[in-house]
Chains A and B, each alone.
Chain A
Amino acid sequence: MLSKRIIPCLDVRAGKLTKGIKFKGNVDIGNPVEAARRYYEEGADEIVFYDITASSDKRDIMIDVVKRVAETIFIPFSVGGGIRNLEDMRKVIAAGAEKVSVNSAAVENPRIITDGAKAFGSQCVVLGMDVKKVAVSSKIPSGYEIVIEGGRKFTGIDALWWAKEAQKLGAGEICLNSIDADGTQDGYELNLTALISENVRIPVIASGGAGRPEHLADVLTAGKADAALIASMVHYKTYTIAGIKRFLTEREIKVRNIW
């Protein structure tokens, strides 16, 4: 049977690995290529890179990072952040990424999902969703709203509606990030994750809030996630991926244990 995937997420700013809390207060914590190699050796099933470089003139640094990562690790990896159009997608794919994640750009121009799927295949197009819990209303019936621009701008779009819509448009996977849980290390947003995962046919990666191996166990069972994104837990070496996988195996959650 298919294994649940454990995916370290590397935020990259101007070519350097960085980590923020609730999308604010980032600090640089190392070299993304070396970190990717370490996670590959430790048994990461996939790696996600987010380019959070603010200025567009430094974006090409990311392409160079992607190229070096592609020469170093032999598992799938995706790149997101600042992807605005097909040309941006083409660049990261040509540099060696398997998947491209679109977030704000897809909200502003949903055609990028369809065009990306047509040009590179659905399996290449990941919809990144940043979600905040809000009051249930006629406009937001699920009580979860899509936010963009790093969590600063509310869009008035219902998260559940958007997930289904993105699937229709051709997204191959959803990376679902809870802004409320992000960086807290208090656990994933289980209700949100289960709600989205049970209502789409494409895989859902849970993101935001991982602090302990139990949190991954919870989101991969009760949260119905197909994969779990982790960051702080492994960046600060509090846990190793191998250790997390041993824990999940003891909990009878199927993960890949030989690499």
Chain B
Amino acid sequence: MVAIIDYKAGNITSVARALENIGQKYAITDDERKLKDASHIIFPGVGAAGEAMAYLRKKKLDNALKNCFSSGKPILGICLGTQIVMEHSEENDAECIGLITGSTRRFPERLTSGGEILKIPHMGWNSVNFKREHTVFAKINPEAEFYFVHSYYPAPSDMDVVLGTTDYGITFCSVLAFKNLVAMQFHPEKSGRPGLQILQNFCAWRGSA
């Protein structure tokens, strides 16, 4: 059973619909005990880091997630979920969960590419340059694009955890992989067939790259 953590940060319906499509059983929960019983954990979310962290602490989900991580359970972070596995976020100056050292930063105010001023949020389809192979990204065409919508991005201090980068005025870390955690800034549940493939790969993953 895959547990989708519901911490009142945005809409998790689309993650659930995507799992249904690939025939994966899931439970949507904000109960720390249910995370213990799950084989895999998906940590989605859109919204602001500060509010999300407050809710996670109230429900003791921050500690539950840390425990799941140390127990070796496969964890998938999506969007805000990816940002708040870092130690700190510039958004609301929030103390975060800290599964990965480093912080979540905001895109620079004046973001340009070839003389054009770029819009913020970074919204739409963009590609990922993968640094190495990973089971969760098996069978993914390197030219594939994924759906992004964000104004902040994770900036890990250890470059070894950067699995993929994306260019948008700057080159930022769009996919993190560290032990049994894989976390992506884009939305696999909204990224068409390659996105569904990633979810399917994750659900079959045992947690070691």
Contact = CB atoms under 8 A, between A and B. Distances in A.
Interface in B135-193: 141, 143-145, 147-149, 167-168, 187, 189-193
Interface stretch (A52-60, A137-145, A251-259): A251-259
Contact of A203 (B123, B141, B192): B123
B196 A258 contact: no
Interface stretch (B30-38, B62-70, B114-122): B114-122
Interface residues of A, number: 33
A162 interface: no
A1 B17 contact: no
Interface in A55-98: 70-71, 74-76, 93-96, 98
A189 interface: no
Given A98-B14, A226-B119, A45 B125 contact: yes
A1 B168 contact: yes
Contact of B124 (A45, A70, A96, A121): A45
A50 interface: no
B126 interface: yes
A257 B126 CA distance: 11
Interface residues of B, number: 39
Contact of B192 (A4, A40, A98): A40
B10 to A, nearest CB: 6
Given A74-B18, A74-B192, A259-B193, A120 B124 contact: no
A202 interface: yes
A96 B120 contact: no
A76 B192 CA distance: 9
B119 A71 contact: no
Contacts, number: 98
A3 B145 contact: yes
Nearest to A69: B17
A2 interface: yes
A19 interface: no
Nearest to A198: B117
Contact of B10 (A5, A121, A258): A121
A15 interface: no
Contacts of B48: 121
B113 interface: yes
B74 interface: no
Contacts of B191: 74-75
A51 interface: no
Contacts of A256: 125, 145
A183 interface: no
A158 interface: no
A96 B12 CA distance: 9
B21 A258 contact: no
Given A93-B11, A121-B47, A226-B119, A1 B126 contact: yes
Given A5-B125, A226-B124, A74 B195 contact: yes
A96 B20 CA distance: 13
A121 B46 contact: yes
B21 A123 contact: no
Shortest beta-carbon contacts, A-B, top 8:
A256-B125, A256-B145, A3-B125, A123-B149, A259-B192, A96-B13, A203-B119, A2-B126
Interface of A: 1-5, 40, 45, 70-71, 74-76, 93-96, 98, 120-124, 172-173, 201-203, 226-227, 256-259
Given A1-B167, A74-B17, A76-B187, 18 more contacts: A2-B124, A5-B124, A45-B125, A70-B14, A75-B190, A76-B147, A76-B149, A96-B14, A98-B14, A98-B190, A120-B10, A121-B10, A121-B48, A123-B123, A173-B123, A203-B121, A227-B124, A258-B145
